[in-house]
Structures are given as C-alpha cells and as structure tokens.
Structure 1
Amino acid sequence: MDGCGVTVDDGDPPVVFFLDILRSATILGVKTRKKRPPTPLRGLNMVHTCVVAGCRNRRTPGTTLSFYRFPRDPERKQRWVAAVNREGWVPNDGSRLCSTHFISGKQVKNPRSPDYVPSVFTAAPLSPEMKEPAAPELADKQEAHVEAANALLFLQGQGRPAPHRPPQGQRPPEAEDSGSSSLSDEEDDDQDEDEKESLNDSKRGRLDVCLDSADALRALKKENQFLRESVEKMSLSESSFRNDAEKVKFYTGLPNYFVLETVMWLLAPHMDGVKNARLSKFQQLLLTLMRLRLDLRNQDLAYRFGVKVATVTRTVHRMVHIMSAALVPTAVFWPSRAELRKNLPAALRGAHPDCAVILDCFTVAFEEAGQQQGRAPSPPSSSPPAPGPGVLKYLIGLAPQGVVTFVSRGVTGGVSNQSLAEGCGVLCKLLPGDVALAARDLDIAEAVAARGARFKIAGACPEEAGGQSEGAPTATPDTASVQRHVERVVSMVKRRYAMLTGPVESPFGSAPERASSLSTFDKIVQVACALNNLCISAAPLE
C-alpha cells in the first residue's frame, strides 16, 4: 500500500500486516469497519473538529455542542466560507462548524435570522467536555487499537481472505466504507439538528399557547368579576342595598340604608329565637317590608327569595308581630304640647295655632273568595269603599307636621265614625284648649268638646269654626291651604305602603289573637304608620 506509506511483503506475518493497515487508517482519519467482533471496538468513530482558526472544540460523547456541516446551497455556503475567513481554504464533506459561532447557539435556516450565517468568531472558550486528552485517555486509545488488531486477526483465523492491496492512488475498501459511514453520520447529524429545531418550534408553539391561555384566563376572570358585580347589584342581598338609596326607598319605603340598618338593629334582638335556615335576619325584614311597601303576592316573594309560599306567610306574620311589639311603641307616640307648637307648619300657624291632631278615617276592603290567586292590586282611590261587613275601618291621628301619633284598631264598616272615635281612645289624649282638625265631618264635635277641646273641619268658614258642618263651606285662600295640607298628610301613609290600599287577604284579616285585641292586619297598619314616621316627610310642611 504505497499510497498509505505501508509496504506489505508476502512473507510478513498477518499480525504485522493488520497493524500496518490500522496505523494507515488512523493516519488518514478513516474508521475501520468492524463486523461482529467478539469484543466491542471503542474509540474508532470519527471525531469532528471545528474548522475555525483558534477554535479547538471537538465532538466527543456527551458533549452539548452541535457541529454543523457547510450548507449545500452555493450562495449560503460561500457566505459561511467568507465568515470563517481562512485564506485559500475550501471546505470538504468532513468540515464542521461548532454551535459556539452562532448567536443563539444553533444555526437557523430562516434567511432573515442573524444565525443564518455564523457571526461569532471571538476566541471560543473550551467547554468542560472539550479539553485536550490527558495521558490516561491516550493509553485507552492505544489499547483500543490493539483490541481492533486482535479482532481482525480473529476474523482472518476464521478463514476470511486477506485484503488485497489496492492499486496506487486508490483508497482501501475499509476507507471507502468508513467514508460512506461518515456520510451517513453526517446525514444523521443533519437529521438530529432538524429534530432539535422541530422540538424548539414545538416548544415555542406551546409557549404561545400558554400565553394565549393566560390572556384568556385574565379575560375570563375580568368577565367573571363583572358578572358577579352585576348579579350582586340585581340581587336582594344586604350588600346590594348598602350604597343604593334609591333601591332602599323603592323596596322598603325608608329613605336610605342608614334608617334600614337602624330598624334592623332595633329588631335583631327579638329575632334571636327565630330559626330560619333559608333566610337571614336581613332577608326576613326585607321580605316583610316589600310585602307592605309593594303589596306583592306571597307567591311572587317566594320566587324572589327562593323559598316556599308557606315560608313567606310565616315570615311576614312573625315579623309583623315583632315590629308591632318593638317598633310601634318607639315610633308612634303622642307628642307634648310644646313640641307640637314648636313644629307647627306655616299653613296652620296663623289659623289654628293650638292644633294638636288631625283626625281622619280610612277603610280597607277584604279580599273576596276566589280572588286570592292572580288578582291585580287595586289602584289608590280618593273615595273610600262603601261601609259594609266586608270592610275594615280605621281612625288615624296625625300631628300637624305629618307624623302619625295614633292608630285605632280595625272595626267592621258598619260602625259609625262617632262610635269609632269615642271607643278607640284618641279623645283621652286631648288637653283642654287643644284643637282637633279633620278633612271632613266625623260627627265627633260633642265628644271632643266634652274633653275641653275644640273640633274643626279644615276649610270651614270662620262662622263655622265651632264645628257645625251643615252645607258646603265657603273656602278662602287660607282655609284652602289648610285643607290641602290635611288631605296630603292623611293620604301620605297609604301612598307609601300600598298594602293599606287593600283588599286585605283572608290570612291577614283573621280574628284577633288571644293575647291581643289586634288582628294581624291591625298590626300591619300600625307598623306602616311607624315606618312612615321614620321617613323624611314626603308631604312638604311649608
């Protein structure tokens, strides 16, 4: 083998011949091809070394560096050669460029990427795994060479023909095989790089998906918060009323949440013994106030609060009894004469400075049988229902400034106004010299006079000041103003709490309880008057 610098004589021993072949393959950088050796051949794979001047990185087992062969595209290949900048040097199939000469640590096949062409050519530091082989490593390689020679001897001993000497200038078959193996390795390298790039693209895709998912999650959280706030605002919870005075006024008749909270604070101790798993204390109070304020049916309230109709009925009855015992004595009371004169409205100050009370009667009809389901509330009417057995009559007393100071219990419509006024106890509260006004004739002038007080009809002429009401009174501007004020304060309570306009449902118009002379509806009227007194006056006093 003259081209390899090896001479083979026919008399040379086989061991010498195969050692010469092994040395020649090592010098030419060619791997010997092994076929089914008895022992594995280590250290015979081609080692790729970076072609950049000054770069000593090599491809060894376990390295994290990548080695790229020069592109097949002529234009890109020329740019790589120019970047390597080795004068008169031309790359061959075995030339490799390590990944340290790319900005991102790998080549990119996108022409727009800065790593389309290598650009990092500073003195590349040696990676920990790319150090010069030490003495023990050289000894291992020599030992590997000896093992390879023994393997070849073993194969010849099995009857394999000795390799022929190739013609001059021609590479040995082993070298050709090694070359094809090297090309196969190069193709594997390219395939590995493509797989790595595909893997990186997949990672970037997953990252984009994660970012999109994070944006979607934030959007969903924002939408969820908005929906929660919307549902909370539309709900009948305590927090939804806290900062919404108009909502409080619409559903309860009270002017703001502070007054509603005060009522809740006053009633809460009396509700401790009541166990209701579905409704809180606030919801029980709110349900009752909505029943009085809007005159909603029990079935409607059951839907709104998510409970049964029987629960609504029990709650309203229980809360009415509690408010009658705890709220009415606190809010409905007869003021002193000094307090009355101090707060006397201007409309009455000149004509009736001694006015102590404004009296009037109103009636509420019972609900007829068969009307309880699905009836529409009857609109307020200036003319009361005709007296009869199906009507409840009440006498109400108001201070001149519009505060309810007295409410009688209900009697059937057949009872006269005089009998109601004389039997309800309102006359016992009059002092000598007081004036009792009325919007119409109540036929109680004599009973009032018996208490040392005077009874007058608002709008009557001065000559009729004694209370006689025969004929229609001739109204003057001053008396007309008084009459309008009286009518306004009388209708104020019924306008604020629609349940008082009737008709009364049969469960509320039941017979009085044993421990009380008042029916449930009597207590409802008193509670409505007490709640009215907690409001800022809806009827202007000036």
Structure 2
Amino acid sequence: MPHCAAFGCNFQSKGNKGTDVSLHSFPHEKARRKQWEDACGRVQLPKDSRLCSRHFSPDAFEAFSRPRLIKELTGASGYKRRLKPNAVPTVFRYEETTGPGKASENRAKKRIRPEMLNSFRDGGKQQQPASTVANMCVDDGDQSDTLSVMEETSNEAAEATKVSQSVTRDHDYCSVPEPSAAAAEDLSKDVESLRKEIQELRVQRKFGLQRFAGSDTDIQFYTRFPSYNHLMAFWVLIEPCIYKMIRASRAKSAANTDEEVLTPARTQTRQLLQPIDEFFLFLVFLSVGLKERDLAHQFNIHQSTVSRIIATWTSFLATALGSQCIWLTRAEVQAYLPKEFKDFSDTQVILDCTELRCQTPSSPLLQSETYSSYKSHCTMKALVGIAPHGPVTFISDLYAGSVSDKELFRQSGIAEKLTEDMAVMVDKGFLITDCCKCKVYRPPFLSKQKKNQVKETQATVRLRLHVERVIRRIKQNKLFDGIITMSPVYNISQLFAVACMLSNYQNTALVKKQVK
C-alpha cells in the first residue's frame, strides 16, 4: 500500500481519497534522489518510496491544464498541480509524537486520584458505590452534575484499568524466569551424554577401521594382523609415504597422454574415505575376498571408486614394500640361523612353487598355456622362497600354470642371487642341479636308501615344510583361495607380491631364530 516515507508521517493512500494531499515518487536521477534522501534524513530507501505533498512548500508546485477528454469524462476542474522538476522537500517535523491513545491515557492518570487508580490496578473487579465516587470527584452540586462526573470518572477509570492490565500482560510475557544453576548443569550433562551416544552410533553404523578397533579378533579376521596395535604399528611405517601416493586414475590419464607422472597431483576435492579407511578397505578385499560391489555397499561408495582404491593401494604397497630389499645376505641368514638347521647351516633359502586358480581365458591358446594338470584348472604359478628362520625373502612374478618348476626357477632370476658357498632346499620335483651353481638339498627319488640317507631325507622334508606353512599363510587371504577374476584395473601379480610381503609384518616367525 503506498505511504509516505518521511519519518513520523503516517499518511497512506488508502482512506485519504478526495483530499488535497498527494504522493510523489522519488526521482530516478541519483543526484536528485540523494537530495530527497538527505532532506528526509533517510538512507537506502526502496526504489518505489514516495513522499506526500505536505513535505513540500507551496512554491514547489506548478499548475498545468488537464486534457479536454479527461475534463469531459470526470468532470474535474481544468487545472491540476504537479511538482516542479527541481523541487526538493523542505517541510519535516522530527518531534517525537505520541500514539493515538497516549493523550487519553495521560488525562486519565491526571484526573483519577491515586487511591482509585490503585484500586483499579488491583483488579477492578469490585466497584465502589456511586456515592463514594461522587464524593471523591465533587464536593457539592446538583444530582445531574454528580451523575455526569461519575460517568466521566467511571469511563476514565475503566480506560486506566485496560492500560494497567495491558502493562501487566506485557510484563508477564517479557519476564522469563532463569533456570537455576543446578538445572543448567544437569542439562549440560544430558547434552554431553547425548553427543557421545550419537558419536558412538555413528561409529557403529560406519563400516571402517574405527568400528573394529576394540576387537582384536575382528581385526585379525578383516586384516590378518594379530591385533589393532600391530596394525597401527605397520601404519606408522607407511604413513609418511602416503602423501606421495599417485592415484590410479591420474596414472591412467598420464599414460593416455604420454605424460610423465613425477609427483602426486594436489586434489581439489576431498577424498570420500580417509587414507587409513582406504587401507582398511584394501586389506578387507585381500583378506576376506569380498567382491567390489559388496565393498561399495559396506563403505557407502561407488563400485568404480572401490576399483580405483584397490588399484592405487596395490601399486603403492608394491612400490613401498618392494623398495625394501627382502633378500638377505649370507651373513644375515647365518646371524639368525635356528638351531634346527645346524646340520644344514649353509642353507640360504627354501624354495617351493604355488599355483593360484584363475578365470579361464577365452583364447584357446591361453587356455592351453594356463591349464595345470596338477590342479585340473587354469592356474598362475609363482616361486616363493623363505629364509631358514621364516621370513619371505624371494617372490617371483606369476607365470602360466603349465610351466615346469625347473623352467620357473630359471626364469625367476633367483639363480643369479645364489653363490657357491650357499645351499637351497627344495622339493624332490625341483630338478635344478644342472642350472644352479650352489648346493641343493632335495629328497631323493629312490625308495631304497641307506640309514644315514634316511635320516638326512627326513630332516630335509621336515625343514622344507616351513615354506609350505608360509605359503599356506599367504593363501589364507581369501582372495587367493577361490578362482581369481582377471581385472583390467589392478595387477594380480602385484597383489600376490603384496600379500607375500605383508606376511612378514602380519605373522611371527615359524622357527625361533637364534641370535649369534
């Protein structure tokens, strides 16, 4: 509804039609509009603000003739006034005005005696007799004057009662009793308790490392580490290198554009999972063998994100753990040689092959190359070597399952690491004497043996079982227990190497080492 924007002016267009007062819009020119605002004492008024004609001097207007058609249709006079182009408002009143009911309220307070006002403030429910009111208001006079005074006094008293009741009601609304200190402390404790409960529920709902931190049994099931503290100790070792990690998506884009990736890109967006939860996801994938879709539901992320996380951490751990030389020197092996190997003190490494069942290739040629008659399935084959006191010291790449143990030994490159003063302990199927320049401890094929040969064979078989136990530990990762799906995203050979190297951190030694 159009109204006057001047301070203290309550003129509105509604209800004031037919009067000589008119509303005038503020100029659109910035300079003139600034003059009007300065004159009003107002700033930043809306664009549609207006001033009534009462704020302009009479010489600010000029008369102009109405069109003849308007005269004939409306019957209005022939002339109408309008503001001059350079007119500026000059008439303003900034006195503080009282509301419409303020004057009558003041008059009521002046005319009513204090004792009567107090009686009405106390409730006004019991009215005094008319004679008492008359005596309080007038001293003498005729009956008509008395009645008129009584009527006027009663009206003013009733008005004063309304004022006092409104004041009391406003006071009741505004005054809010403050809670006591004890109640405030109890409420603060309740709020803190509810916050802790909400935090616990969030942790329980979220599938992550923090959820299983209090259960070593769950940690061992999901990660193969014996306890939470053991896992965190390994995390401390790799955490400094995490911020140099190159994501699989960036490595792929760099490979497509022939760009050399030297440093990790600074991601502008926040990662969906924290680095330690990504590491936990990778361990769950490796240890429990959950499918990518299942992991996506568990961690509340997309399946493609799961694939990228697995590929990233596979490459990162293969690089980080592979940068540490796991092959031990002759002196290091002798320093920790267990007493069970006193008759085979020159043993440097115990070797054995293991096969992983894989998805059947679509190519007939690949099917024939990967088919293993020992497993009756398409497999991938690797050579694993351990030191006499238990740690994995050699891991070969994965080869087709049809390759022989001798050929795998030759292609793996371990022969170059062995010297003449070393010895290797292998199964009877490893016919590597002609391609190895070191001594070989291998159970003989012949059933008829001399007494001393039988004891030596039994000792060799008993000690060689340690490598099978290590391989069994590696295959406790459920990913390698079933049929491995060939994925274009991550490298299966790297995954197997990471699992072998992680076994050095996850498990204790199979044979008690003897420090010399």
TM-score (norm 2): 0.55
Distance verdict in 2 for CA 1:463–1:337, change over 3 Å: same
Q: Would you say 1:429 and 2:421 are equivalent positions?
A: no
Deviation digits for residues 343-380 of structure 1, max 9, x if unmatched?
Answer: 2345x24454443222222111113489xxxxxxxxxx
The equivalent residue for 1:273 is 264
Q: Would you say 1:400 and 2:391 are equivalent positions?
A: no
- Out of 451, 454, 458, which is 2:440 matched to? 454
Q: Would you say 1:321 and 2:311 are equivalent positions?
A: no
The equivalent residue for 2:495 is 524
Report deviation, 1:265. Answer: 2.6
| Alpha-carbon distance in 2 for matches of 1:213, 1:342 | 68
Contact 1:364 1:500 in 2 (8 A): yes
Report deviation, 1:406. Answer: 0.5
Report deviation, 1:335. Answer: 0.7
Report deviation, 1:193. Answer: 4.1
Distance verdict in 2 for CA 1:43–1:415, change over 3 Å: closer
Greater shift, 402-411 or 279-288, is seen at 279-288
| Alpha-carbon distance in 2 for matches of 1:363, 1:194 | 95
Deviation digits for residues 302-339 of structure 1, max 9, x if unmatched?
Answer: 33455543443344334433433443131x52112222
Report deviation, 1:404. Answer: 0.9
| Alpha-carbon distance in 1 for matches of 2:206, 2:123 | 72
Alignment of 1:339-418 (within 5 A): 339-346=332-339, 348-368=340-360, 386-387=374-375, 390-418=378-406
Distance verdict in 2 for CA 1:529–1:169, change over 3 Å: closer
Report deviation, 1:534. Answer: 3.1
| Alpha-carbon distance in 1 for matches of 2:292, 2:158 | 84
Contact 1:492 1:539 in 2 (8 A): no
Report deviation, 1:389. Answer: 6.2
The equivalent residue for 1:491 is 472
- Out of 257, 260, 263, which is 2:232 matched to? 257
| Alpha-carbon distance in 2 for matches of 1:179, 1:457 | 133
Q: Where do 5+ consecutive residues of structure 2 fail to align?
A: 1-105, 247-262, 363-371
Distance verdict in 2 for CA 1:425–1:466, change over 3 Å: farther
Contact 1:334 1:405 in 2 (8 A): yes
- 1:442 maps to amino acid: G
The equivalent residue for 1:141 is none
Q: Residue 114 of structure 2 aligns to a residue in which SS?
A: coil
- 1:357 maps to amino acid: V
Distance verdict in 2 for CA 1:307–1:170, change over 3 Å: closer
Q: Would you say 1:292 and 2:357 are equivalent positions?
A: no
Q: Residue 432 of structure 1 aligns to a residue in which SS?
A: coil
Alignment of 1:118-517 (within 5 A): 171-203=142-174, 223=194, 226-232=197-203, 234-235=205-206, 251-254=222-225, 255-271=230-246, 272-273=263-264, 279=272, 282=275, 285-330=279-324, 333-346=326-339, 348-368=340-360, 386-387=374-375, 390-438=378-426, 440-444=427-431, 446-447=433-434, 450-456=436-442, 463-464=453-454, 482=463, 485-495=466-476, 497-507=477-487
Deviation digits for residues 288-314 of structure 1, max 9, x if unmatched?
Answer: 443323222122233345554344334
Distance verdict in 2 for CA 1:486–1:236, change over 3 Å: same
Contact 2:134 2:150 in 1 (8 A): no
| Alpha-carbon distance in 2 for matches of 1:73, 1:521 | 98
Distance verdict in 2 for CA 1:466–1:436, change over 3 Å: farther
Report deviation, 1:216. Answer: 8.9
| Alpha-carbon distance in 2 for matches of 1:195, 1:42 | 17
* Percent of aligned pairs with the same amino acid: 18
Contact 2:124 2:161 in 1 (8 A): no
- 1:48 maps to amino acid: R
Query: How many positions carry a matched residue from both structures?
Result: 364
Deviation digits for residues 141-161 of structure 1, max 9, x if unmatched?
Answer: xxxxxxxxxxxxxxxxxxxxx
Contact 1:430 1:451 in 2 (8 A): yes
Contact 2:423 2:438 in 1 (8 A): no
Deviation digits for residues 468-488 of structure 1, max 9, x if unmatched?
Answer: xxxxx5xxxx88974665543
Q: Residue 444 of structure 1 aligns to a residue in which SS?
A: coil
| Alpha-carbon distance in 1 for matches of 2:419, 2:244 | 37
Distance verdict in 2 for CA 1:234–1:253, change over 3 Å: farther
Report deviation, 1:491. Answer: 1.6
| Alpha-carbon distance in 2 for matches of 1:315, 1:234 | 22
| Alpha-carbon distance in 2 for matches of 1:258, 1:388 | 41
Contact 1:398 1:404 in 2 (8 A): yes
- 1:391 maps to amino acid: T
- 1:401 maps to amino acid: H
- 1:259 maps to amino acid: F
Contact 2:423 2:439 in 1 (8 A): yes
Distance verdict in 2 for CA 1:480–1:321, change over 3 Å: closer
Computed over aligned residues only, the root mean square deviation of the Cα atoms, in angstroms, reads: 5.0
The equivalent residue for 1:46 is 111
Contact 2:356 2:484 in 1 (8 A): yes
| Alpha-carbon distance in 1 for matches of 2:361, 2:146 | 115
| Alpha-carbon distance in 2 for matches of 1:69, 1:413 | 105
Contact 2:425 2:460 in 1 (8 A): no
Distance verdict in 2 for CA 1:94–1:422, change over 3 Å: farther
Alignment of 1:45-124 (within 5 A): 46-50=111-115, 68=121
TM-score (norm 1): 0.53
Q: Residue 244 of structure 2 aligns to a residue in which SS?
A: helix
| Alpha-carbon distance in 2 for matches of 1:95, 1:264 | 98
- 2:146 maps to amino acid: A
- 2:441 maps to amino acid: F
| Alpha-carbon distance in 1 for matches of 2:166, 2:417 | 102
Contact 2:206 2:299 in 1 (8 A): no
Q: Residue 402 of structure 2 aligns to a residue in which SS?
A: coil
Q: Where do 5+ consecutive residues of structure 1 fail to align?
A: 1-40, 52-58, 60-64, 78-90, 97-167, 371-383, 468-472, 511-518
